[in-house]
């Protein structure tokens, strides 16, 4: 197959920031053409994975991530309610509902800084087991994780651990002060060593530069193997968070990020994540064209709004895309 990239058979782990920045700054038609070539070569058809999200423990998080409505540091201004960890039964019920609506992956998020051993973690393990028993891919995001905890999650049937790098190593300190980039890398390493797939990506629209965006993709694409799943979020500005007034991301910036993620990590599921609520159908189609092949599906992300499922299915149909059925590896 004649595809418009050099060394097309090679999956590289040595991308430099400069190379990725060059990609991000290509004329858009050229960038889309290259990303399409890579996508077609590695994925063939355009199937979109539908992943549903549920916040199993909301609010009162001790970390100070400036984008996050769930941080306890901003509760006075956000007014975010503090909720305790959900029971197992309603979580599995939600997973069933999501599955019935067409989702094949179920992601559970907890506003924790780290996993602590005890009854609550045991409960999460049961949730993972229950979701996995439904035949869905199970993913959780619970904060920092120790090696033995990663192993217990893997043993319970977890497919993937989500832990985002969020931004570049340099810009990170502008956004979070309560834990380091290295802490994040260590958690990802612990998850990988337990045999879990990695779901890790970041957010654009937090005031970072294009170089920061390229640096984040550089770190991700230098993982060996690449993360199986790369969520790219556009900041959802939430009132009361320090980033509430940052200028919104232009949809074409998301398109460029999808394309660069696709080219640098050809086999990863590139997930068009938070921020779709403010994107037109046309912008989302461009993201799919650029290689995005997964979305968060369901009317809620963790605490903020997401498009209706009917609208998403209609868009997928109109664009002639297919829905990924069953676990996708």
Pairing, β 137-141 against β 105-110: parallel
Is the Cβ of residue 36 or residue 303 nearer to ligand SAM in the bound state?
A: 303
Residue ranges of E strands in 75-186: 105-110, 137-141, 160-162
Q: Least distance to ligand DTB from the beta carbon of 125, Å? A: 19
Q: Binding-site residue total for ligand SF4 (CB under 6 A)?
A: 9
Which residues, including other chains, have CB under 8 Å from residue 53's CB and lie 6 or more apart? 107, 108, 109, 296, 298, 300, 301, 302, 306
On the question of a cis peptide bond just before residue 134, with omega within 30 degrees of 0, the verdict is: no
Q: Least distance to ligand SAM from the beta carbon of 271, Å? A: 11
Q: Least distance to ligand DTB from the beta carbon of 162, Å? A: 5
Interaction of residue 162 with ligand DTB, rule CB under 6 A: yes
Residues 80/81/87/88 CA torsion (nearest 10 deg): -10
Interaction of residue 128 with ligand SF4, rule CB under 6 A: no
Interaction of residue 68 with ligand SF4, rule CB under 6 A: yes
Interaction of residue 304 with ligand DTB, rule CB under 6 A: yes
Backbone angles phi, psi at 233, to 5 degrees: -100, 140
Interaction of residue 153 with ligand SF4, rule CB under 6 A: no
Tokens representing 119 are 């009854």
Residue 303 interacts with which of ligand DTB, ligand SAM, ligand SF4, none, CB < 5 to 8 Å by class? ligand DTB
By rule CB under 6 A, what string of x and - marks binding of each residue 200-229 to ligand DTB?
A: -x----------------------------
Question: Which string of b and e fits 27-64 if b means at least 16 CB within 10 Å?
Answer: eeeebbebbbbbbebbeeebebbbbbbbbbbbbbbebb
Active-site choice (34, 262, 269, 271): 271
Interaction of residue 113 with ligand SF4, rule CB under 6 A: yes
- Contacts with ligand DTB, residue ranges (CB under 6 A): 53, 69, 107, 109, 141, 162, 164, 201, 231, 233, 236, 273-274, 301-304
- Contacts with ligand SF4, residue ranges (CB under 6 A): 61, 63, 65, 68, 70-71, 111, 113, 143
């Amino acid at each position: 197959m004649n595809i418009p990239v050099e060394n097309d058979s090679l999956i590289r782990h040595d991308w430099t920031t400069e190379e990725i920045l060059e990609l991000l700054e290509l004329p858009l038609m050229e960038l889309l053409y290259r990303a399409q070539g890579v996508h077609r070569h590695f994925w063939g058809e355009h199937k979109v994975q539908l992943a549903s999200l549920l916040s199993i423990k909301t609010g009162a998080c001790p970390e100070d991530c400036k984008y996050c409505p769930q941080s306890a540091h901003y509760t006075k201004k956000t007014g975010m309610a503090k909720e305790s960890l959900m029971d197992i039964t309603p979580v599995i019920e939600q997973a069933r509902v999501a599955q019935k609506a067409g989702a094949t992956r179920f992601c559970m998020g907890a506003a924790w800084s780290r996993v602590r051993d005890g009854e609550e973690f045991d409960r999460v393990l049961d949730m993972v087991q229950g979701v996995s028993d439904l035949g869905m891919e199970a993913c959780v995001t619970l904060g920092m994780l120790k090696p033995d905890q990663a192993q217990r999650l893997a043993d319970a049937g977890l497919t993937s651990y989500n832990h985002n790098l969020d931004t570049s190593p340099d810009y990170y300190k502008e956004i979070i002060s309560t834990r380091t980039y290295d802490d994040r890398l260590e958690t990802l390493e612990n998850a990988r060593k337990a045999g879990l797939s990695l779901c890790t990506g970041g957010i654009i629209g937090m005031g970072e530069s294009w170089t920061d965006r390229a640096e984040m993709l550089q770190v991700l694409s230098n993982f060996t193997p690449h993360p199986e799943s790369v969520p790219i979020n556009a900041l959802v500005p939430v009132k009361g968070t320090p980033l509430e007034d940052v200028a919104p991301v232009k949809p074409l910036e998301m398109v460029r990020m999808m394309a660069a993620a696709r080219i640098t990590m050809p086999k990863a599921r590139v997930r068009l994540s938070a921020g779709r609520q403010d994107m037109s159908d046309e912008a989302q189609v461009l993201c799919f064209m650029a290689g995005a092949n997964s979305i968060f599906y369901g009317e809620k992300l963790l605490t903020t709004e997401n498009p209706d499922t009917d609208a998403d299915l209609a868009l997928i149909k109109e664009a002639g895309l297919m829905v990924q059925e069953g676990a996708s590896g």
